[in-house]
Structure 1
């Protein structure tokens, strides 16, 4: 029996709610709890999507979702799927359908380019990396009707790597979060707060006006 068509109106509402929640503050669900509702098939498709955006090295031999085109950590190691599946966000129930959209695109590309796909794996996972990259690039075409879906997913993948959105920043740093470590995110001061006494230009941007008060206000 073919899968039911995806309710794109409902999905767009979930995407809008996701963007609102992300603006409101950090996620609070523990990483271990985030992916319990996902099937292996859906997880593998989402991992391959995340690895296409921010590639990383393979976790073990035969790790097909991660192609391993680079050394060092990528989005999957940084918790991208945990962020996507977080119960704090309304996307969880939609992820199997989103993965299905991605795999349908992969099947079409494989047919158009006469590509062999390994059995037992999601179609997108089976694509060679250059074809994954070309497919994902096309998802963001202004004329693609599903572009908002991929834009929000890409945002979440980036947040997982750059900010460890599914964990408190101090906890993520203490645990050696691979994304934060890779970008050199600084540790907090001993009291757990971040202060930046040295500014990026490291010099005054303009001469101080002689009538400026001690508080820095203009006279």
Structure 2
């Protein structure tokens, strides 16, 4: 729940259900949590799986200190970071990612992975992400493949062709 609240602070989204405490619900569209931030953070390729409980604990410790200093009363029924309102979560994450903070690399890395989950869905294959209507790719307007499952781009994004295809490229786009 703590890591979901962190991901929601990075890219906010709509609540999944009315009593959702992890997602603050400051947006009407899906955010990092629905885009799979937790799945990405737990992906074996990142090597963070064994550290996630410790990272959540550290974030909750920072939230307790933040609340104590600012005299914010925390709901003891949820983890401390989750108990903070969205503005306080945002202020704490800004402090943790400040260049002067000694743990900046940890928090900046966590924020980067949450952003990646939304922007590029690296925890999913692209066809799978398109099929599941991944919220970030949908928002970015990522085009689905052609009916044969291949991506072709008849319009160049730079409005001009940057390079000619290799002469041995097959009709399916693969090099010979």
The equivalent position to 2:25 in structure 1, one of 39, 43, 68, is 68
Q: Map Cα deviations across residues 32-57 of structure 1 (whole Å, 9 max, x no partner).
A: xxxxxxxxxxxx01000000000001
Does 1:117 find its partner at 2:65? no
Q: Distance in 1 between matches of 2:151 and 2:115?
A: 22
Partner of 2:113: 156
- TM superposition shift of 1:143: 1.3
Partner of 2:123: 166
Q: Indicate if the aligned counterparts of 1:73 and 1:182 stay in contact, CA closer than 8 A.
A: no
So what's the TM-score if we normalise by structure 1?
0.70
Partner of 2:152: 195
Q: Distance in 2 between matches of 1:191 and 1:204?
A: 23
So what's the TM-score if we normalise by structure 2?
0.86
SS of residue paired to 1:88: helix
- TM superposition shift of 1:150: 1.2
- TM superposition shift of 1:119: 1.4
- TM superposition shift of 1:203: 5.2
Does 1:181 find its partner at 2:138? yes
Residues 193, 50 of structure 1: alpha-carbon distance in 2 compared, 3 angstrom cutoff: same
SS of residue paired to 2:30: coil
Q: Map Cα deviations across residues 17-42 of structure 1 (whole Å, 9 max, x no partner).
A: xxxxxxxxxxxxxxxxxxxxxxxxxx
Residues 204, 184 of structure 1: alpha-carbon distance in 2 compared, 3 angstrom cutoff: closer
Does 1:132 find its partner at 2:89? yes
The count of aligned residue pairs is 163
Q: Distance in 2 between matches of 1:195 and 1:163?
A: 19
SS of residue paired to 2:151: coil
Q: Superposition RMSD on alpha carbons, in Å?
A: 1.7
Q: Distance in 2 between matches of 1:154 and 1:90?
A: 16
- TM superposition shift of 1:89: 2.5
Q: Distance in 2 between matches of 1:129 and 1:111?
A: 17
Residues 204, 175 of structure 1: alpha-carbon distance in 2 compared, 3 angstrom cutoff: closer
Q: Indicate if the aligned counterparts of 1:79 and 1:160 stay in contact, CA closer than 8 A.
A: yes
Larger radius of gyration: 1
Structure 2, unmatched stretches of 5+, are: 168-176
Q: Distance in 1 between matches of 2:47 and 2:69?
A: 34
